[in-house]
Amino acid sequence: MGASAGPPLKGRSLWDDARRRLLRNRGAVTGMVVLGLLVSAAAVGPALTPWGYDQVNKTDVWFAPLQHGHLFGTDALGRDLLARLLMGLRVSLAIGLVATFVSLVIGVAWGSVAGFVGGRLDEVMMRFVDVLYSLPFIFFVILLMVTFGSNFILIFVAIGAVEWLTMSRIVRGQTLTLKHKEFVEAARAAGLGRGGIIARHIVPNLLGPVVVYVTLTIPAVILAESFLSFLGLGVQPPMASLGTLIASGASDMELAPWLLIFPSAVMVVTLMSFNFIGDGLRDAIDPKDR
Amino acid sequence: MFRFIGRRLLVAIPTLFLVVTLAFFMMRAAPGGPFDSDRKLSPAIEKNVLAKYGMNRPLGAQYLSYLAGVARGDLGPSLKYRDKSVLEILKENYLVSLKLGGSAILLAALIGVSLGVLAAMRQNRAADYGVMTVAILGVCIPTFVTAPLLVLAFASKLGWLPSAGWNGGALVNMVLPVTVLALPQIAIISRLTRAGMVEVLHSNYVRTARAKGLSERRIVTHHALRAAILPLVSYLGPACAGLITGSLVVEKIFNLPGLGKFFVISALQRDYTVVMGMVIFYAALILILNLLADLAHAALDPRVRLA
């Protein structure tokens, strides 16, 4: 960074500090680079592979990696594993992002209102979260998938609806400390209403902890989706996700171990880069936890 | 304390009520029913079968009579396993899941706490980094990846352990499933222990103990450990939820006759009563464990007052 070359009296904002700390964290930087590669591969990869992800080829079954130009080999139906893997990665990442966004919207709205309004409403809203917390949620997600069949939107909604609870708790705690700050009082004195204060002053200041939690929620969502797909309840064939690829790889592993190993490796690398970035962000934004 | 337990049990009742209600109506909203099969039943027989299980009545009435049954401790008959009640199915299969989950959590606590203490005592040195790397790997490698990979290595290639089956709970059959279940828990527990230990080792009373000239070993075992593992006690509830989730996968992969295997199958077969029974069972289990965790927390930490 060229910050040191600037004029000596230029102040550094908290975000500048956070960015410097983040860029000094080797794990987080590695995570960001790897994730960047994975995301670009998922974005453009499926268009570049010579075979389609659902292209069945009855004569090309069980090719080992590198055989006949299939970099990662083929599966029982002769489909190219690389093409399926790129598609699966795209699907898993998309589900991770969208479901996290769902949980973000619900969690931030719920937590900031509960924390800011306080009193009875706060108690009722947070009690509700407590009750939901103690439910065996995976069962409800499974029931949802069974009830309405597995469609894409439902996977987003079901997982997002589970993950918003922690987000709302974090946001509420943060809101409680924010609402007694001077700038909120100033806004109130200037005549801004409750809704305006929440939207204009509370929510933007929640950014730090929320960003950290989002980067840790995305891998949790990817994991949840893969878990459902593994049980046969998530993404349906011929569409692929990392979970369905691992599931079918696991059933064919005696014959074709590469079908299990490549998807597993991609899954683990993806989850790890998110976790490293999340840990790095937490250290950078909230240095007292180090 | 009794007032605390009483209050928590009072909160547990509406929670369980919510669980029963949600699960009941979600299950019934699912298309298809338990008596659908490839061979179409004749309308007369179907009518009789539905009447036998009281399923010809309006949904609201069925719901109320189900609630009344649950309140009496009667979970009804299974709709698929014709001669068995839900309670019998739970009784016959919960021991396998309990044994798996119990062994996994014990193993995880033992290894996780030891690793966490080791990492905290060697903070920022090779052992610490080693343990924390293992912890990150453990969180990032899901059970449905570790399970098939371990089977591939230890059962298919090396032939040391059986790849599946329960065999009456023989030790060799338990090694792989318990390991798979325990790995993510080891990762989380070692992280929690390390964080707690690092904090406690910097506290004033530990400095006092050092000033008295106690050995570092005695400080850790007699003074610091008790305070450092407090966060673990509150982790008991989430750990149980994690084990239940894991058991769904593990029991499927290793083909074990536990409850987890039943749940997905029963849900797909629309065996309403079995699914409901299992949801209630697990919800109650999690509620009880959370209560126990709070009590244990208060017992271990005199600063906590139950209110």
Chain A CB within 8 Å of residue B51 CB: no
Chain A environment of B245 (Cβ under 8 Å): 138, 227
State which amino acid sits at residue B273: T
Residue that is written with structure tokens 């090719």 in the block: A63
- The rounded percent of chain B whose pLDDT value lies above 70 is 97
A interface test, pick of B145, B234, B274 with most A CB neighbours within 10 Å: B145
CA B267 to chain A, closest CA, distance in angstroms equals: 7
Chain A CB within 8 Å of residue B141 CB: yes
State which amino acid sits at residue B264: V
How many A/B residue pairs have CB atoms within 8 Å? 114
Per-residue pLDDT tens digits for A64-117:
777 777 777 777 676 888 888 888 899 889 888 888 888 889 988 898 888 888
Chain B CB within 8 Å of residue A246 CB: yes
Chain A CB within 8 Å of residue B140 CB: yes
pLDDT greater than 80 at residue B106: yes
pLDDT at B46: 78
Q: DSSP state, B77?
A: B
Chain A environment of B136 (Cβ under 8 Å): 272, 275-276
pLDDT at A2: 44
CA angle B285, B289, B291 (to 5 degrees): 120
Chain B environment of A96 (Cβ under 8 Å): none
pLDDT at B107: 93
Lowest mean pLDDT among A218-232, B41-55, B83-97: B41-55
pLDDT greater than 60 at residue B261: yes
Mean pLDDT of all residues in B199-226: 85
Chain A CB within 8 Å of residue B142 CB: yes
Residue that is written with structure tokens 């919960």 in the block: B94
Chain B environment of A226 (Cβ under 8 Å): 142, 144
Per the CB < 8 Å rule, is B30 touching A254?
A: no
Per-residue pLDDT tens digits for B76-87:
888 777 778 888
Distance CA B252, CA B258 (A): 9
pLDDT at A235: 80
pLDDT at A34: 92
pLDDT confidence band for A11 (50 / 70 / 90): low
Residues 112-131 of A with CB under 8 A from B: 131
Per the CB < 8 Å rule, is B27 touching A147?
A: yes
Chain A CB within 8 Å of residue B267 CB: yes
Side-chain-side CA neighbours of A24 within 13 Å: the count stands at 9
Per-residue pLDDT tens digits for B32-41:
777 776 666 7
Helix axes B272-300, B259-268, angle to 10 degrees: 140
Chain A environment of B290 (Cβ under 8 Å): 134
State which amino acid sits at residue B265: I
Per-residue pLDDT tens digits for A190-243:
888 888 888 888 777 887 788 888 888 888 888 888 888 888 777 877 788 888
State which amino acid sits at residue A164: W
pTM, full prediction: 0.81
- For A212, the token pair is 């950290």
Side-chain-side CA neighbours of B91 within 13 Å: the count stands at 6
- For B278, the token pair is 């299992």
Phi-psi label, residue B258: left if phi above 0, alpha if psi -120 to 50, beta otherwise: beta
Q: Which of these, B240, B229, B202, lies nearest to B113 by C-alpha position?
A: B229
Q: Which of these, B226, B178, B227, B193, lies nearest to B109 by C-alpha position?
A: B193
Average pLDDT of the residues of chain B: 82
Chain A environment of B248 (Cβ under 8 Å): 138, 231
Q: Peptide bond preceding A263: is omega within 30 degrees of 0, i.e. cis?
A: no
Chain B environment of A254 (Cβ under 8 Å): 152, 156
Chain B CB within 8 Å of residue A109 CB: no
Question: How buried is A44 (Cβ within 10 angstroms: 0-12 exposed, 13-18 middle, 19+ buried)?
Answer: exposed
pLDDT greater than 50 at residue A3: no
Q: Which residues pair with A80 in a beta bridge?
A: A74
pLDDT confidence band for B228 (50 / 70 / 90): confident
Per the CB < 8 Å rule, is A230 touching B30?
A: no
Question: Minimal Cα distance from A271: which residue of B?
Answer: B140
Per the CB < 8 Å rule, is A139 touching B142?
A: no
Helix (H, G, I), strand (E, B) or coil at A74: strand
Q: Which of B140, B268, B282 sits opposite A136 (nearest CB)?
A: B282
Question: How buried is A54 (Cβ within 10 angstroms: 0-12 exposed, 13-18 middle, 19+ buried)?
Answer: middle
Side-chain-side CA neighbours of A54 within 13 Å: the count stands at 6
Question: Minimal Cα distance from A247: which residue of B?
Answer: B144
- Which whole-number Å values give the CA distances from B224 to A161, B210, B217, B294, in the listed order? 39, 11, 10, 20
